[in-house]
């Protein structure tokens, strides 16, 4: 039974770095692509990017200059860092597994991150 769980601060100050971790259970992180997706309140979903255990990453061009993703295979976790945040980065952040071409099979429950001073 595959489960994903996001963790991290729910409040980040403007201009600081948002840091989230996704803990995966039930499957090795050496499988699949591991993805971050966010959803501002009342809005649609936005793909942030993915990381593969090989180290390959692919980020949304609109966020690429501020995004870094990493993997920790020993903990079966992957992480997201988003720098220089503004109020526009306030959203529910989800981690998910991608099996193939937009097939996001498993999702975490999501964590709300608010950017405010």
Partner 1 sequence: QSALTQPPSASGSPGQSVTISCTGISSDYVSWYQQHPGKAPQLMIYEVSKRPSGVPDRFSGSKSGNTASLTVSGLQADDDADYYCCSPAGSLYVFGTGTKVTVL
Element (H, E) at 73: none
Sign of CA dihedral 48, 41, 115, 86: positive
Candidate segments 20-28, 44-52, 70-78, 79-87, binder of partner 1 by CB under 8 A: 44-52
**Token code pair at residue 105:** 């099979």
72 binds partner 1 (CB under 8 A): no
Shortest spacing between CB 63 and partner 1, in angstroms: 10
Residues forming contacts to partner 1 in the complex (CB under 8 A) are 44-47, 58, 60-62, 94, 99-105, 107-110
């Amino acid at each position: 039974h595959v489960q994903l769980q996001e963790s991290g601060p729910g409040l980040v100050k403007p201009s600081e770095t948002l840091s989230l971790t996704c803990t995966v259970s039930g499957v090795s992180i050496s499988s699949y692509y591991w993805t971050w997706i966010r959803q501002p309140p009342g809005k649609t979903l936005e793909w942030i990017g993915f990381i593969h255990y090989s180290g390959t990453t692919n980020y949304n061009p609109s966020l690429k200059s501020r995004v870094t993703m990493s993997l920790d295979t020993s903990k079966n976790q992957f992480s997201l860092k988003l720098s220089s945040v503004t109020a526009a980065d306030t959203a529910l952040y989800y981690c998910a597994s991608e099996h193939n071409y937009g097939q996001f099979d498993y999702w975490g429950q999501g964590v709300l991150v608010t950017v405010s001073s």
